[in-house]
A and B are shown apart, each in its own frame.
Chain A
Amino acid sequence: AQSVTQLDSHVSVSEGTPVLLRCNYSSSYSPSLFWYVQHPNKGLQLLLKYTSAATLVKGINGFEAEFKKSETSFHLTKPSAHMSDAAEYFCVVTGESASGGSYIPTFGRGTSLIVHP
């Protein structure tokens, strides 16, 4: 079985300071990993996807994430927070089901990013 743990339910930063949103996963298979962002009353939007081509993945809006297999982590970072980054962030792992041939996504509980002026 696969699982995702987002280590912080809330992260508060000041505008212009770095952002770190932490995600640990477990999977019996070679997973695909994603970060999505959800702004209030909106659907989810993809930030980035780990495809195994490179451990450091660059996404939209200056976000990036590093895949560390030894630590089973996929933390999301941004060098400088902007007010518009305030939203809910979800780490997602998608792995092949036990029966094989199909992929079931598991979402973390989400991290609410608060950005202070």
Chain B
Amino acid sequence: KAGVTQTPRYLIKTRGQQVTLSCSPISGHRSVSWYQQTPGQGLQFLFEYFSETQRNKGNFPGRFSGRQFSNSRSEMNVSTLELGDSALYLCASSLRSDDIQYFGAGTRLSVL
């Protein structure tokens, strides 16, 4: 069974630009969660989607948004990028919200 796939693995953007990250969950998993990982703040929950609906949202500004498609694939969008958005963005899928999460390798975003 294929694992969680995140694309691209690396991104370099400049301030003010916007970016879209993609996540393909494990087949059959309907819950997809996104996290931001930085040395200063650690791992922080961004949001969770389940069956195309956002079920939970972390404490991030509205510049961070996401969506989930009918095949459970998910995208995360960050608009008007700031230097502080530089981070490793991790996606995780699971069968249910409270179940084991399977993580992708992440997308490393650098904002210059």
Q: Which of B77-97 contact A (CB under 8 A)?
A: 90, 92, 97
Q: Which of B17-44 contact A (CB under 8 A)?
A: 33, 35, 42-44
Distance in angstroms from A2 CB to nearest chain B CB is 11
A49 touches B90 (CB 8 A): no
**Which has the most chain A C-beta neighbours within 10 Å: B44, B48, B101, B104?**
B101
Say yes or no: A32-B103 contact (C-beta < 8 A), given A43-B4, A44-B90: no
Chain B residues with CB under 8 Å of A34's CB are: 100-101
How far does the alpha carbon of A103 sit from the alpha carbon of B43 in the complex, in Å?
16
Q: A-side binding surface: helix, strand, loop or mixed?
A: strand
Say yes or no: A43-B90 contact (C-beta < 8 A), given A105-B45, A110-B43: yes
B103 touches A43 (CB 8 A): yes
How far does the alpha carbon of A108 sit from the alpha carbon of B41 in the complex, in Å?
10
A54 at the interface (CB under 8 A from B): no
Q: Which of A13-71 contact B (CB under 8 A)?
A: 32, 34, 36, 41-46, 49
A102 at the interface (CB under 8 A from B): yes
Say yes or no: A102-B97 contact (C-beta < 8 A), given A43-B4, A43-B90, A109-B42: yes
> Chain A contact residues (Cβ within 8 angstroms of B): what range?
20 to 34
Contact among B56, B90, B101 for A104, CB-based, below 8 A: B56
How far does the alpha carbon of A68 sit from the alpha carbon of B56 in the complex, in Å?
28
How far does the alpha carbon of A41 sit from the alpha carbon of B105 in the complex, in Å?
7
Extra pairs beyond A94-B97, A105-B101 (7, CB < 8 Å): A34-B100, A49-B100, A102-B55, A102-B97, A104-B48, A107-B42, A109-B42
Q: B-side interface residues toward A, CB under 8 Å?
A: 4, 33, 35, 42-45, 48, 55-56, 58, 90, 92, 97-98, 100-106
A-B pairs with lowest CB-CB distance, top 5: A43-B103, A107-B43, A103-B98, A103-B97, A44-B103
